[in-house]
Chains A and B, each alone.
Chain A
Amino acid sequence: MKSRLWFGLLCIGIVLGLYATFKVYTVGFGLYAKTDVLVWTLPLSTYIFFSLTSAGLAFVSSIPVVFGIKRYEAIEKRALYLEIAVLIGSFVCLLLHLGSPLAVIYIFLSPNPSSPLWWLAVLYILYFVLLLSAFWGIHKGKISKPLGVIIFLIAIGTSTTLGWLLGMTDARPALNASFFSVYFPLTGFTSGLGALLLVSMVYAHFSGREVTEDRSALYNELARIMGIFAGMVLVIFLWRTISGGISSTAVEYRAFKHMIGSIPYNIELWLGLAVPTLLMLVPSIRATVWGKITASALVLVGMFFGRLEFVLSGVVRPLGQMLEGRPEIVSYVPTIYEVFVALFGLSAMLMLYTLGERYLRLDAVPE
């Protein structure tokens, strides 16, 4: 019964997403809360959320092959599969962000290596193919060390290139902090840990299967690492606020100053970083299934809103002639179609993952 309800909910999410896709490609992107100022909004921030979570999962899945920590092999298959599912969720959102997705062929026909976006596209294609190969290998019971190392390196490449992509935008300093190439992998790792911990805990709880002592210890270790990383992100996040949002006198930072009081900012700060850090600092909470579920879910919710806050910090202040006839800060509320796009990415990802959990023995430990 629970399983049917779950699949039913995911199907509703996918159907709503397909409806949004149909409308967006027939009516146009005017269905989004667009103006010529808000050029990047919820669909793109959701894509960033998924893609960085996927990179974070790649770091987790690479731990046994890159760093030789054997006990992490127990979660490698699940992490790798989740990585693929999350990446597909990100592609769904990206496709619904691009105005002309068919022209993507020109990435190959007319390449521009000076563009971080070009590198990102190439890296993602490579990443996806390698992930599928690595998963196929693990599914057949074999871990490929070279493949694991390459995936690890590409995950570093994708998350740091995303930092370069936004770091290149001299016109929008709120996106242009040089530490984003560090901040993105770090936050990606945190959300990757959150995603893996959440699905593992939920699966353990609802499947009714007994969790072995080794595996339970491993989950506790993951929860502790997630708490540590959430704390580290919190420190960097606060410094970003202090340097860009409080100390800076540059007019370009007014967009970020505006975002500091916003709902996404506060969800990210309090629910996504402060609370999970505190929860995971307390050993008695960390040891419980519900403690881990709550903390990891909060980390993911916080990161989701964090990506939105980040994207909006770059765009809510009109530049140049776009300011003509507009207020200094443009307000943003997502439309129902944008929400459907985010829901589509999430539902597609969860559907793929649920099917994998059911048919692909994600608990299996490779040789």
Chain B
Amino acid sequence: MPRYAMVIDLQRCVGCGSCSISCRNENNVSEGFYWSHKITETSGTFPNVRYHYIPTLCNHCTNAPCVRGCPTRAMHKLENGITMHDPKKCIGCRYCMINCPYGVIYFNWKDPHTNWKDKRELIKGVTSSPAEEVKKLDARGVPYYNPHRDATLPGIRPKGVVEKCTLCDHRIKEDKLPRCVEACPADARIFGDLNDPKSQVNNLLGKFRPFRLKEAQGTEPAVFYIRDFSSAGYPRTKGGI
């Protein structure tokens, strides 16, 4: 049985956000939710400042605290290492959100995609309304609705339950890469099997010094980061007093 993991090469990542956009389309993610997101940081003091960009997603932790705490096993581990969620079993207690150190789980506070239910025309007599657009395309919820998502999870999750990245488990079942990996124009996301010693993922983990987010929590994330982007140089110096 494979154990899937992702390596994110921070030297290759340009911070374009295609991972996030493609994820939204693939998984019909609602407004304000980010199954695929980022952490940005600035360091230094003006004028010597630097911007850091770390792409984030569910870490599919081996010791997932969200899974341990879920009273109904709605949040559960698949044999291939993916942390999956079953909205049918979710009681909406949000304990997984409390337990997750990475802030990657979202709760449907209201019906999803409410903006697309609006029956008012954007410009009266000129444009159609969002609801008409959805109807015209015979879509569900959003005009760009992806029906393939329904294979393993409700295409659009209902109000009152949580949701998060599933590492595109529905695509993996069809031997396709997760959508964010496929869409990355810089090939900064590398997906593979940790149980296969010859996989690209293991190749990179052996070649560089990887790190994972909040390793001290002991959650054993399956998302690894390698390298860092910096084009900066500096003249050799010992500093001074």
Contacts and interface: CB of A to CB of B under 8 A. Distances in A.
A322 B99 contact: no
Interface in A103-117: 103-104, 106-107, 109-112, 114-117
A101 B111 CA distance: 16
Interface string A19-32: 00000000111101
A288 interface: no
B94 A99 contact: yes
Interface stretch (A132-140, A185-193, A313-321): A313-321
B50 to A, nearest CB: 18
Nearest to B101: A171
A126 interface: no
Nearest to B95: A117
B91 to A, nearest CB: 5
Interface residues of B, number: 45
Interface residues of A, number: 45
Interface in B131-173: 159-162
A324 B89 contact: no
A318 B103 CA distance: 8
Interface stretch (A33-41, A54-62, A263-271, A275-283): A33-41
A237 interface: no
Contacts of B218: 170
Interface string A316-350: 00111111100000000000000000000000000
Contact of A315 (B74, B91, B98, B107): B98
B38 interface: yes
Nearest to B106: A36
Interface string B96-115: 01111111101111110000
A28 B158 CA distance: 11
12 contacts: A34-B109, A36-B106, A36-B107, A99-B161, A106-B89, A112-B70, A117-B93, A165-B95, A169-B99, A171-B65, A323-B39, A324-B37
Interface of A: 27-30, 32, 34, 36-37, 39-40, 97-101, 103-104, 106-107, 109-112, 114-118, 121, 165, 168-172, 175, 314-315, 318-324
Given A29-B159, A114-B68, A115-B95, 9 more contacts: A39-B97, A99-B160, A109-B72, A117-B70, A171-B98, A315-B98, A321-B103, A321-B104, A323-B103
